[in-house]
A and B are shown apart, each in its own frame.
Chain A
Amino acid sequence: MNVEAKLEFQTSTAPKTGADLLIDLLIKEGVETIFGYPGGAVLPIYDAIYRAKSRIHHILFRHEQGMIHAAEGYARITGKPGVVLATSGPGATNLVTGITDAMMDSLPLVVFTGQVARAVIGTDAFQEADVMAITTPITKHNYQVQSITDLPRIVKEAFHIASTGRPGPVLVDLPKDITSGVLSEEPEEADIDLPGYQPTIKPNPLQIKKLADSLAKAKKPVILAGAGVLHAKASEELTAFVEKHKIPVVTTLLGLGSFPADNPLSLGMGGMHGTYAANMALYESDLLINFGARFDDRLTGNLQHFAPFAKVAHIDIDPAEIGKNVPTQIPIVADAKEALVELLDLPVSPPETVEWLEKLKQYKQDFPLWYKHDPNGMCPQWLIEAVHKVTNGEAIVATDVGQHQMWAAQYYTFNQPHRWITSGGLGTMGFGFPAAIGAQIAAPESTVVAIVGDGGFQMTLQELSVIYERNLPIKIIIVNNGALGMVRQWQELMYDNRISESLLHTQPDFVKLAESYGIRGVKIDNQEDLIASLPELFAYDGPILIDCRVLQQEKVFPMIAPGKGLHEMIGVKPE
């Protein structure tokens, strides 16, 4: 008997544990990849993963925060729950930022955390943390498994809750004695038992009719397209509806790609760093139709000046979002796609929008996004445009948070859905690079670009190991201005240029850093070199880090200063 056969023999006769059952249940849910990190309380699960190696794929990260952001990137691209596995105590608490991020941005995750054995819960045992209490406000729902017989139902419910309705993170806390316990018999198939959870998918036909009537009468209608359109996979329906009625479209930061940016009816992104045309359209509109956006404060600016002349229709799958920030005359609780299909079916006379569109076209012409070239160095906005060009605008782009994020949103125009991954609600630095890893795992054939700042990248760069190990051909663009640029910008504009602790005077040599991980690194500090080398760098078959030194003084414009209204943008034109 050779060694392998012997091993096979041993595993097949080993008694089945709770952890083996868990892995079976995950496979049944269609899970292909686990984003994980082992530790004491999850050793039984890792033993089961060892036994199930041929059936499920585990990716070992270097920090729990990195792996959960990767799972978010995976969820954003596939629409399927990203599955995360961490140990108890510090493993679980390191996930908190990512769970909150997923909650804010409605990303489906199923997070499994180890827990100390039931007998010692509550005794401050080694690596014990009250994960249930910690994660209750930051999850859509959470469970602690109290009996192995509950496990099939809980796993099924967790995936169901995470991926239906308004998606979100669900956490399952697994005491060690549950996962290490030996099953006396296979637990029965379980059914979902969730009487308190029935998301409304279909819109109320009367409300749809009301919206159609209002639309027919509108003179200045505008659509606000949020991430709900992307979750519902309703981009096609949205485009059809927009084309049919000739309504201009503003997208939110997270809604980028839900409507093609190159469509003449697209006004671009709205909000704090949105376009003048988008914000003025929201301001002057007489009918604002919001599909799946939550009227975040970074979009609305001062609420008193938000869409002051508009009747507001809000289509959202989460009833609690309707009327939360903006009074809404036509509330429609529904999936965006269902609502759009119903709307498309109704015979509505298209609104008279010729004049309105003409006015907005003029705004677009008169106040386009702008920046000035500087002979002293590389413009970050130009850098994004160059990346757009070399990738034909077809790459999956993941960003961190800050200036580079806004420039990417402004200058990497998205014509297709599901190409844009960013931390919108929570604004998590360190998100972009690991999220790109998850995206590349989800879409191995796509070009994935991580556009990150030099500040945020240093928060999760340890995951360079993962892209080397897995040979994930991610292109990392560090928009390196040697500063926490957005903080610096606000200090310059709003704190009388008192630049407090926002310059990164000491930095690693990013090229050597990449090389120490076995990854190719390149440093570029001027536009000529970039334009010359970018095609070759992007053609490189493997991970690559490109440290782009850009002008530190550049600011993100235009801008709505905090407390100001949509119509009070600054920096709409070059000085």
Chain B
Amino acid sequence: MKRIITLTVQDRSGVLNRVTGLLQRRQFNISSISVGPAEKEGVSKMTLVVEVEDDQRLEQVTKQLNKQIDVLKVSDITDKAIVARELALIKVASSSQLRSEINGIIDPFRALIIDVSKDSLAVQITGRPDKIDALIELLRPYGIKEIARTGLTALQRGHQPQVNELATFSLLK
């Protein structure tokens, strides 16, 4: 199962290496990882999407991450109310004739064209990974030249519903 784990870490050299090295050593598969500064100076936030077999392995991965001296907090937010987004840049082969056709495809996704050249254009899309996957599939027939994705990043919503009002939905399962 895929789980979204957020880490608050001390912004010290080697901390990313510590986290990824640990996951590799304990045989956890990372689907994506995104890192950036957090609200407090000297602190970074990492969002990991990891593939784990079961709850016992999930418990291990969070405990092992917690053991790292530079890791301040580990949260598995998969089952929480969250907002989760990924950004992707997609370069599509496109002559000038196809441009408006592509525009029509990306418009419902609220994606933007952010670069245009003679024979290609670059699309920027943000959203949940499955939405990005869907757009990529639609653009594939035009010839995708390059894709760059940031990996998922996520926040817990300000209001966490009580258990009884929480509909069981998941972004990733």
Interface residues of A (CB under 8 A from B): 132-133, 136-137, 140-142, 144, 146, 161, 194-197, 318-320, 323-324, 327
* Given A132-B14, A144-B13, A320-B63, CB of A137 within 8 Å of CB of B70: no
Residue on A nearest B24 in the bound complex, by CB = A137
- In the assembled complex, the CB of A306 is this many whole angstroms from the nearest CB of chain B, namely 15
> What separation, in Å, do the CA atoms of A132 and B18 have in the docked complex?
10
Q: Mark B81-93, 1 if CB is under 8 A from A, else 0.
A: 0000000000000
Q: Mark B65-95, 1 if CB is under 8 A from A, else 0.
A: 0111111100000000000000000000000
Which residues of chain B come closer than 8 Å to A142, judged between CB atoms? 14
Which residues of chain A come closer than 8 Å to B68, judged between CB atoms? 196
> What separation, in Å, do the CA atoms of A142 and B15 have in the docked complex?
11
- In the assembled complex, the CB of B66 is this many whole angstroms from the nearest CB of chain A, namely 7
Q: A136 to B17, Cβ gap below 8 A? A: yes
* Given A141-B69, A319-B63, A320-B67, CB of A196 within 8 Å of CB of B10: yes
- In the assembled complex, the CB of A378 is this many whole angstroms from the nearest CB of chain B, namely 44
- Cβ < 8 Å to A, chain B residues 1-38: 9-10, 13-14, 17-18, 21-22, 25
Complex partner residue of A196 from B17, B25, B60, B70, CB under 8 angstroms: B70
**B53 proximal to A (CB < 8 A):** no
Q: B18 to A323, Cβ gap below 8 A? A: no
> What separation, in Å, do the CA atoms of A195 and B43 have in the docked complex?
11
7 A-B residue pairings within 8 Å (CB atoms) = A136-B21, A137-B21, A137-B22, A319-B63, A323-B56, A324-B60, A327-B56
Q: A196 to B71, Cβ gap below 8 A? A: yes
> What separation, in Å, do the CA atoms of A195 and B9 have in the docked complex?
10
Which residues of chain A come closer than 8 Å to B69, judged between CB atoms? 140-141, 161, 194, 196-197
Q: A136 to B72, Cβ gap below 8 A? A: no
Residue on A nearest B22 in the bound complex, by CB = A137
Which residues of chain B come closer than 8 Å to A133, judged between CB atoms? 14, 17
Q: B21 to A196, Cβ gap below 8 A? A: no
Complex partner residue of B14 from A136, A140, A320, A327, CB under 8 angstroms: A136
> What separation, in Å, do the CA atoms of A132 and B56 have in the docked complex?
31
**B137 proximal to A (CB < 8 A):** no
Complex partner residue of B67 from A132, A144, A195, A318, CB under 8 angstroms: A318
> What separation, in Å, do the CA atoms of A324 and B27 have in the docked complex?
14
Which residues of chain A come closer than 8 Å to B21, judged between CB atoms? 136-137
Which residues of chain B come closer than 8 Å to A194, judged between CB atoms? 69
- In the assembled complex, the CB of B10 is this many whole angstroms from the nearest CB of chain A, namely 6
- In the assembled complex, the CB of B70 is this many whole angstroms from the nearest CB of chain A, namely 6
**B103 proximal to A (CB < 8 A):** no
* Given A133-B17, A195-B72, CB of A320 within 8 Å of CB of B10: no
> Which 8 residue pairs across A and B have the least CB separation, nearest first?
A320-B63, A141-B69, A196-B72, A197-B69, A319-B63, A320-B64, A196-B71, A137-B25
- Cβ < 8 Å to A, chain B residues 105-119: none
**B133 proximal to A (CB < 8 A):** no
Which residues of chain A come closer than 8 Å to B17, judged between CB atoms? 133, 136
- In the assembled complex, the CB of A197 is this many whole angstroms from the nearest CB of chain B, namely 5
Which residues of chain A come closer than 8 Å to B18, judged between CB atoms? 136
- In the assembled complex, the CB of B19 is this many whole angstroms from the nearest CB of chain A, namely 10
- In the assembled complex, the CB of A425 is this many whole angstroms from the nearest CB of chain B, namely 15
Which residues of chain A come closer than 8 Å to B64, judged between CB atoms? 320
**B130 proximal to A (CB < 8 A):** no
Which residues of chain B come closer than 8 Å to A137, judged between CB atoms? 21-22, 25
Which residues of chain A come closer than 8 Å to B60, judged between CB atoms? 320, 323-324
> What separation, in Å, do the CA atoms of A144 and B17 have in the docked complex?
14
Residue on B nearest A144 in the bound complex, by CB = B13
Chain B CB within 10 Å — which of A141, A195, A196, A318 has the most? Answer: A196
Chain A CB within 10 Å — which of B18, B59, B68, B69 has the most? Answer: B69
- In the assembled complex, the CB of A303 is this many whole angstroms from the nearest CB of chain B, namely 12
> What separation, in Å, do the CA atoms of A324 and B72 have in the docked complex?
22
- In the assembled complex, the CB of A467 is this many whole angstroms from the nearest CB of chain B, namely 37
- In the assembled complex, the CB of A463 is this many whole angstroms from the nearest CB of chain B, namely 31
> What separation, in Å, do the CA atoms of A111 and B141 have in the docked complex?
58
Which residues of chain A come closer than 8 Å to B13, judged between CB atoms? 144, 146
Which residues of chain A come closer than 8 Å to B59, judged between CB atoms? 323
- In the assembled complex, the CB of A462 is this many whole angstroms from the nearest CB of chain B, namely 32
- In the assembled complex, the CB of A67 is this many whole angstroms from the nearest CB of chain B, namely 25
> What separation, in Å, do the CA atoms of A195 and B13 have in the docked complex?
16
> What separation, in Å, do the CA atoms of A132 and B16 have in the docked complex?
13
- In the assembled complex, the CB of A164 is this many whole angstroms from the nearest CB of chain B, namely 11
Which residues of chain B come closer than 8 Å to A144, judged between CB atoms? 13
> What separation, in Å, do the CA atoms of A196 and B59 have in the docked complex?
18
> What separation, in Å, do the CA atoms of A226 and B7 have in the docked complex?
32
- In the assembled complex, the CB of B131 is this many whole angstroms from the nearest CB of chain A, namely 35
Which residues of chain B come closer than 8 Å to A327, judged between CB atoms? 56
> What separation, in Å, do the CA atoms of A136 and B12 have in the docked complex?
13
> What separation, in Å, do the CA atoms of A323 and B9 have in the docked complex?
25
> What separation, in Å, do the CA atoms of A163 and B2 have in the docked complex?
37
- In the assembled complex, the CB of B112 is this many whole angstroms from the nearest CB of chain A, namely 39
Residue on A nearest B60 in the bound complex, by CB = A324
Q: B22 to A319, Cβ gap below 8 A? A: no
Question: 11 new A-B pairs (CB below 8 Å) besides A137-B21, A196-B71?
Answer: A132-B14, A133-B17, A136-B17, A136-B18, A136-B21, A137-B25, A140-B69, A195-B72, A196-B72, A320-B60, A320-B63
> What separation, in Å, do the CA atoms of A326 and B121 have in the docked complex?
55
Which residues of chain B come closer than 8 Å to A318, judged between CB atoms? 67
Residue on A nearest B43 in the bound complex, by CB = A195
- In the assembled complex, the CB of A132 is this many whole angstroms from the nearest CB of chain B, namely 6
Which residues of chain A come closer than 8 Å to B72, judged between CB atoms? 195-196
- In the assembled complex, the CB of A276 is this many whole angstroms from the nearest CB of chain B, namely 31
> What separation, in Å, do the CA atoms of A132 and B60 have in the docked complex?
24
Which residues of chain B come closer than 8 Å to A319, judged between CB atoms? 63, 66-67
Which residues of chain A come closer than 8 Å to B66, judged between CB atoms? 319-320
> What separation, in Å, do the CA atoms of A137 and B59 have in the docked complex?
20
> What separation, in Å, do the CA atoms of A141 and B56 have in the docked complex?
25
Residue on B nearest A161 in the bound complex, by CB = B69
> What separation, in Å, do the CA atoms of A144 and B63 have in the docked complex?
25
Which residues of chain B come closer than 8 Å to A197, judged between CB atoms? 69
Residue on B nearest A133 in the bound complex, by CB = B17
> What separation, in Å, do the CA atoms of A327 and B13 have in the docked complex?
36
Q: Mark B121-147, 1 if CB is under 8 A from A, else 0.
A: 000000000000000000000000000
